Amino acid sequence: MGRKYLDPEIGVELLSILDEYGNLDAELEPQIGNDLHLKMYRAMLVGRRFDERMLDLQRQGRIGTFPPIKGQEAAQIGSVAALRDRDWLAPSFRETAAEIMRGRSLESILLYYNGYNEGTIIPDNQHDMPMSVPVSSQIIHAVGLGFAAKYRRTDEVVMTFFGDGGTSEGDFHEGLNFAAVYQTPVVFVCQNNQWAISIPLARQTRSRTIAQKALAYGMPGIQVDGNDILAVHLAAAEAVARARGGGGPTLLECVTYRIMMHTTADDPKKYRSEEDVERWKARDPLIRYRKYLVEKNILTTHRLSELDEEVEKEIRSAIDRAEEQMRYLGQPLDMFDHLYAELPAELRAQKEALARELDSGIGAKGGANHG
Amino acid sequence: MGRKYLDPEIGVELLSILDEYGNLDAELEPQIGNDLHLKMYRAMLVGRRFDERMLDLQRQGRIGTFPPIKGQEAAQIGSVAALRDRDWLAPSFRETAAEIMRGRSLESILLYYNGYNEGTIIPDNQHDMPMSVPVSSQIIHAVGLGFAAKYRRTDEVVMTFFGDGGTSEGDFHEGLNFAAVYQTPVVFVCQNNQWAISIPLARQTRSRTIAQKALAYGMPGIQVDGNDILAVHLAAAEAVARARGGGGPTLLECVTYRIMMHTTADDPKKYRSEEDVERWKARDPLIRYRKYLVEKNILTTHRLSELDEEVEKEIRSAIDRAEEQMRYLGQPLDMFDHLYAELPAELRAQKEALARELDSGIGAKGGANHG
Amino acid sequence: MAKMTMVEALNMALRQEMQQDDAVILLGQDIGRDGGVFRVTDGLFAEFGEERVVDTPLAESAIVGMSIGMAVYGLKPVCEIQFSGFAYQGFHQLENHAARMRWRSQGRLHVPMVMRAPYGGGVRALEHHSESREAYWAHTPGLKVIIPSGPRNARALLVSAIRDPDPVIFYEGKALYRAFREEVPEEEETLPIGKAQMVRSGDDLTMISYGAMLRPTLEAADDLRQKDGVTAEVIDLLTLSPLDTQLLVASVSKTGRAVIVHEAPRSFGAGAEIAARLMEEAFFILEAPIERVTGFDLIIPYFSREKSYIPGPARIAAAARRTLNS
Amino acid sequence: MAKMTMVEALNMALRQEMQQDDAVILLGQDIGRDGGVFRVTDGLFAEFGEERVVDTPLAESAIVGMSIGMAVYGLKPVCEIQFSGFAYQGFHQLENHAARMRWRSQGRLHVPMVMRAPYGGGVRALEHHSESREAYWAHTPGLKVIIPSGPRNARALLVSAIRDPDPVIFYEGKALYRAFREEVPEEEETLPIGKAQMVRSGDDLTMISYGAMLRPTLEAADDLRQKDGVTAEVIDLLTLSPLDTQLLVASVSKTGRAVIVHEAPRSFGAGAEIAARLMEEAFFILEAPIERVTGFDLIIPYFSREKSYIPGPARIAAAARRTLNS
Ligand SMILES: Cc1ncc(C[n+]2csc(CCOP(=O)(O)OP(=O)(O)O)c2C)c(N)n1
Ligand SMILES: Cc1ncc(C[n+]2csc(CCOP(=O)(O)OP(=O)(O)O)c2C)c(N)n1
Ligand SMILES: [Mg+2]
Ligand SMILES: [Mg+2]
């Protein structure tokens, strides 16, 4: 008998190793091999430069609407760097850097944002899911993949991404609950970039942290400085190890910030102040990491500028290849491919009707509509 | 910098005042007037006896499938007893006792479980919603009602009920999150009766308590002994007071047990042991409360047996009235009433077609199908 | 009268209804400070405040479900689903409750809510942002489905929808939002729900369409008149459910031929119901099979191919000619 | 061959497929120890264990979504939604993902899942337990919709559905579960998806139905034969999407008259698509308007009135006579 209230104000500590001023917590500093450091830095760099380049292209009408990722590179790269090739990634729509790190080609991304279904093709040797636009709907797929991986007695781990806004969807709740009940090997990574289009975190949920939502599922949760790639990687590596070892799922909250607009169709001036953005620009994950790598003599300033050039070239040639492909891709009749393993009679008839239309020149009004 | 993990094992104390052995925590004993005590006891008694009677009727084919509530009377009555008439109730499907306490007639319940749409009519002076069958879907309606009550500057409070299984639905999550964000005056009462049909709580969620799920929303949560009406009422009264005072929503978990089958169509022997049930029968909320009332001289044993008789009569006459009404209710053409404020042309035509069919005698094959 | 885009006209409808009736409340994602991703609620947050222009967390089932609770209480919520392709998260709230509450409560409780959602393609959007699945709602007893075709009728119909005592699904063609301007009177204007409009009269065939497909249908009608000297009677449904069978039958009884145009997939789409009703009511007058010009039974392709998916004037005219020559 | 109810036949289909292929996994509410609320999975938990007969928490979106993930991985999940009226909580998972994954991945990823759900009225159930809304799925490109009419074809079709490489919605008429027994061979038996069956041949009119409505349709056909000496060709669709237009057209080309029967609401229902296709393909042969005998455009009433809602033999026969006499 007796009583005691839960304290709803319970929060979580921030895991931080390398802060915005370059201070390092040597005790927590993870032992990461130089190759991985290089791989992570390069991926962050590509993610950053490609994002900037896509913005130009969008402004020039050379691609359509897309969601920039600037400022979230560490949260993405630090997380997926903890995965093996055979592991799975179930991304949402703002994991461009993570997808690149996992092996998605820059061309495919350009094709996708230029309205080509061909832009979602995933290399055969790769285990990842195509990006998922309906917020948080992919979370449950990750649980299914994890259940199957466990059923097949593999040690594969699944990592899924979603945003702070995504935590409000029923699918977030159902997915984490299922994962905990079945102890599936899934790592749930929330890129808490403070905004869901125009809705700030404080109007998205009243819980002080997103990590504490893990308590609802009897699941470990941790909040890390999402702009500190060392912290993100350490937390992700621990969560992946737990999952791989049969320890079940983890909720990993990466506190970061959406530096740019939600998508190129959005105008943040309508709903947020520049100061806030400036404060976060000072916490830039790429600059912070680069400083660390140089101080540790893992990268020389000379090598850094070489990398800048390499990446520039890589992006330029990807754009060329993509624009080359667009000349012959986008044939209207192809839209009938891949809906079913076999085209049903009714659809065959519809395809033939479109073919006739295209021959007769009526189709002229249709066809690809770039620009 | 530094680190600290959340402890996912955080739990909640049980609020308990009057335990199954009749021990009373005098410090916590709520000061409840005799009228309310009498009202609560009578409602529990009606709930219990009516439930038993409906089971007979169902076995005799005099009503259809229904979900018994035996053992959950304290969780229901203790909660709604904290409401005022002007407050709102948004029940699920296992709140028969709560609905009766709120003023729903026994006949309407009998009509409902006999397949008459007339059985859902709510008295005009009453603020309650009809029962909701889709699990947890009603939770969000409560938030909308609360939002509106607040918008209209009333001090009305909304109470909604759901089960332990209901906490797995996305609607539970979305509803509690919205309520916390808008600080709507809603009390979320979970009747944790340990089972969702054949699924025990342990396979429903991995969180040690349901109350701790409140943490995900920055909302106060409390777990009480749901068979202890004093504890339930105290916790409910506090939550209602908080809501009425502008303090926002509360999650109240009442730990109780589904003594009977899920519905009369269910056979619990397939999935649970009798011992478990027996252990919980010993915690009967009605017997516990009666003992307390007698010891406190709030009710004499003589008055108790009078009440038994009154309630028997009340139920018997309700059954007579219901069966009387069924003779003239259930006219097929009435099914066209109430879908829209005004019957659209197409539906008018369909109604006329049915009318012709009934006249022509074809309708003979249709019509009410009791038994 | 000001010349307005459909976005401006819808905005005016919301503003005026909110000014007249404090029971009207807006809720949805990014409709407040941001003014909505298509700016339909622009300026309303500033005018009416956060209590009446409610930014919600990211959860469609809750947006619809909260609207139901508000409506039962006596408010007139107008919720916005950011894109109709994300309305399915709230499907069960609409089917299980919005459509049933009046019926379930035997007339006691009403759900005078409106669910607004942009639908359809043609704006180079990403996946799930270009769907047309209005038939889902039309097949759901208890709901009404309105799909305007331009600024003026959009404004009038939204006012009617807000005042309607029953739940209304209000689909707004994205491609129409800024496609053209129309004179929209400042004074109150409503249109009856459930009534279609004959927007062009003719004798040789009936062309039936709604929403964003009305204009290509009219272009096709022009083409037929110019090139073939054929006059088509063009009907704008405006309300998909309840369907204005009477007007459709009257027109086809005159012309004997019909073409139905919509952007949604063909099979089990709205065109099937329209064709079936015409066949039932005007069978002995029909001189040729009714043609359906629709989207294919596919997921609308990403935007490089969407123009080949969406019916255009040429495709519509070709179908009309088939009807006329059979 | 044993005489089986549909429940037993479905149970056999699941058992045999699970025995042959360890990729086949069942998941849903109460399908494990309890064996399913209709006992369709009875005994399978004991035989295959909790890894392959997975009791789930109470969340439909997760049940469908988890099935999608499993299927993408290479398993063949068969999920049970306890009643079709609760499938809408998973609507977005079906429309956004199950139906699109092959298409979205350009053929790389497949979703060979089956979603089983009891549908329809006639068993004195509570609200939301008697719905027929198969048209929602039929209007969703990327899904297939199967609705068996008896134990034997239910078993064969479920086997075909499990082996199909694409997502299949499998609706089981509650009213059929224990209504009658049929010989069901122990040996493997499948039926092609997308093919209807002529279950009775005739010359005077074509009667088209599926699921639980097939039997009242056959009773009506008997009545016509006995009382009017009229022979009806009766077609059992079995698959609603893709629709077997060919067989329907062939039959109507012979009879010139058709009656379509389903339990779902009439407007924007499956009957409309069937009527539209017949009108398009057999227009010049049709001698009378096609009749639709369907549920009313209402929510199916609570069970005291449901028999007046659900089409019965008398209502069907009356409609047939109208067709024959017009
Ligand atoms: C189910 C659903 N509802 C609405 C949208 C429209 N939408 C796209 S992104 C977005 C905000 C997402 O915010 P968050 O989850 O924080 O991710 P972020 O954009 O910040 O990366 C919204 C509302 C959607 N894509 N899916
Ligand atoms: C959305 C939905 N899914 C499934 C069902 C079928 N069903 C009815 S009650 C029930 C179990 C509910 O368990 P719980 O929430 O614990 O409430 P209890 O029955 O124990 O009172 C289920 C699965 C339903 N009514 N609604
Ligand atoms: Mg965000
Ligand atoms: Mg329970």
A244-275: pLDDT as tens digits: 999 999 999 999 999 999 999 999 999 999 99
DSSP code of residue D90: G
Q: Which amino acid is at C1?
A: M
pLDDT value at A364 more than 60? no
- Cα(B312) to ligand 3 centroid in Å equals 59
Residue-wise pLDDT for A294-334, tens only, equals 999 999 999 999 999 999 999 999 999 999 999 999 899 99
When CB atoms are compared, the residue of D32, D124, D314 closest to B115 is D124
Beta bridge partners of A190: A162, A253
A262 belongs to the catalytic site: yes
Regions of chain D with pLDDT less than 50: none
Residue C46 in contact with partner chain A when CB distance is under 8 A: no
The span from the CA of B104 to the CA of D152, in Å, is 47
Rg over CA atoms, chain D? 19
**Do A99 and A91 form a contact (C-beta atoms < 8 A)?**
yes
Helix, strand, coil percentages for chain A (3-state, nearest 5):
50, 10, 40
Distance in angstroms (rounded) separating the CA atoms of residues A367 and B256 = 64
Share the mean pLDDT of chain A. Answer: 94
Residue/partner pairs of D125-128 with CB below 8 Å, 24 or more apart: D125/B64, D125/B65, D125/D83, D125/D174, D125/D303, D126/B64, D126/B65, D126/B93, D126/B133, D126/D302, D127/B133, D127/C104, D127/D302, D128/B133, D128/B134, D128/C96, D128/D83, D128/D85, D128/D86
Q: Give C295's strand partners.
A: C265
Confidence grade of residue B171 (pLDDT, cut at 50, 70, 90): very high
* B42 included as an active-site residue: no
Task: Give the pLDDT confidence of B80-125 residue by residue, as tens digits.
Answer: 999 999 999 999 999 999 999 999 999 999 999 999 999 998 888 8
Other residues' Cβ atoms within 10 Å of the Cβ of residue A85: 9
Which long-range CB contacts under 8 A does A339-345 form with residues at least 24 apart? A339/C298, A339/C299, A339/D102, A339/D103, A339/D141, A339/D142, A340/D102, A340/D142, A340/D144, A340/D166, A341/D102, A341/D110, A341/D165, A341/D166, A344/D194, A344/D242, A345/D194, A345/D242, A345/D245, A345/D246
A346 part of contact set with chain D, CB < 8 Å: yes
CB atoms B171 and C96 under 8 Å: no
State the best of A14, A167, A173 to mutate against chain B, taking most chain B CBs within 10 Å. A173
pLDDT digits (tens, 9 = 90+) for A346-361: 999 999 999 999 999 8
Between the CA of D145 and the centroid of ligand 1 the distance, in Å, is: 31
Distance CA A76, CA A232 (A): 9
pLDDT in tens, B274-333: 999 999 999 999 999 999 999 999 999 999 999 999 999 999 999 999 999 999 998 999
User: SS3 string of B194-225?
Assistant: CEECCEEHHHHCCCCCCHHHHHHHCCCEEEEE
Tokens of C20: 């007249």
Q: How confident is the model at residue A6 (pLDDT cuts 50, 70, 90)?
A: low
CB A187 within 8 A of CB A240: yes
Of the pLDDT bands very low, low, confident and very high (cuts 50, 70, 90), residue A8 is very low
Q: What letter would DSSP give residue D174?
A: G
Helix B345-359 × helix D313-325 angle, to 10°: 100
- β-pairing, C258-265 vs C205-209, is parallel
Residue B231 distance to chain A (closest CA, Å) = 10
Please tell me the distance from the alpha carbon of residue D255 to that of residue D250, in angstroms, as a whole number: 9
Q: What whole-number distance in Å separates Cα of residue B33 and Cα of residue B268?
A: 39
* Rounded distance between C-alpha atoms, residue C119 and residue C212, angstroms: 9
Going by DSSP bridges, is the β-strand pair A195-196/A199-200 parallel, antiparallel, or unpaired? antiparallel
Q: Average of pLDDT values for A122-146?
A: 94
Nearest by CB to B6, from A8, A23, A214: name it: A214
C-alpha distance from C78 to closest chain D C-alpha (Å): 22
Distance (Å, rounded) from C-alpha B157 to C-alpha B90?
Answer: 11
Provide the percentage of residues in chain D whose pLDDT is more than 90.
Answer: 99
CA–CA gap between residue B182 and residue C306 (Å, rounded):
41
pLDDT at residue B125, as a whole number: 80
Cα D64 to its chain centre, rounded Å, is: 18
Q: Give the per-residue pLDDT at A367.
A: 37
Contact (CB, 8 A) for C283 and C253: no
Place of tokens 């919600």: C56
Return the DSSP state at D99: T
Task: Tell me the pLDDT tens digit for each residue of D195-228.
Answer: 999 999 999 999 999 999 999 999 999 999 999 9
Q: How far apart are CA C10 and CA B16, in angstroms?
A: 56
Say yes or no: C163 contacts chain B, CB-CB below 8 A.
no
**Nearest-angstrom CA–CA distance, B97 and B284:** 15
Task: Indicate yes or no: CB of D55 within 8 angstroms of CB of B329.
Answer: no
Q: In a mutagenesis test of the C interface, which of D64, D82, D88 is the best target, namely the one with the most C β-carbons within 10 Å?
A: D88
**Residue A66 contacts D where some CB pair is shorter than 8 Å:** no
Which of left, alpha, beta for B103 (phi over 0: left; psi -120 to 50: alpha)? left
Angle among Cα D31, D37, D43 to the nearest 5 degrees reads 50
**Residue D62 touches chain C, beta carbons under 8 Å:** no
> Do A170 and B168 lie within an 8 Å CB cutoff?
no
D171 touches chain C (CB under 8 A): no
CA distances from A92 to A195, A297, A356, C84, D61 (A): 15, 35, 38, 19, 17
**Does B258 contact ligand 2 (Cβ within 6 A)?**
yes
Measured in angstroms, the CA of B169 and the nearest CA of chain A are apart by 6
Predicted local distance difference test score (pLDDT) of residue D198: 98
Give mean pLDDT in consecutive 10-residue pieces for chain C, a chain of 326 residues: 95 98 98 98 98 98 98 98 98 98 97 98 95 98 98 98 98 98 97 98 98 98 98 98 98 98 98 98 97 98 97 98 95
Q: What is the dihedral of CA A235, A237, A243, A244, to 10 degrees?
A: -170
Which is it for the CA torsion B243, B247, B248, B250, positive or negative? negative
Residue B166 carries which DSSP code?
A: G
**pLDDT band at B369; cut points 50, 70, 90:** very low
B102, B104, B258, B283: which is the annotated catalytic residue? B258
Strand order in the sheet with A14-15: A14-15, A221-225, A250-255, A186-192, A158-163, A88-90
How many cross-chain Cβ pairs, A to D, lie less than 8 Å apart?
A: 130
With CA atoms as reference, the chain D residue closest to C297 would be D141
Which residues contact residue B188 at a Cβ distance below 8 angstroms, ignoring those fewer than 6 apart?
B139, B142, B160, B162, B175, B176, B179, B249, B250, B251, B252
Q: Classify the C-alpha dihedral B24-B30-B31-B32 as positive or negative.
A: negative
Q: Are strands D197-200 and D76-80 parallel, antiparallel or unpaired?
A: unpaired
Residues B134, D127: Cα–Cα separation, whole Å: 9
Q: Residue C2 corresponds to which amino acid?
A: A
Partner residue facing B166 (CB), from D33, D58, D296: D58
CA distance B344 to chain D (A): 10
Could you report the predicted ipTM of this complex, rounded to two decimals? 0.98
Residue A362 pLDDT greater than 90, yes or no:
no
Question: Mean pLDDT of all residues in chain B?
Answer: 94
d(CA A294, CA D91): 52
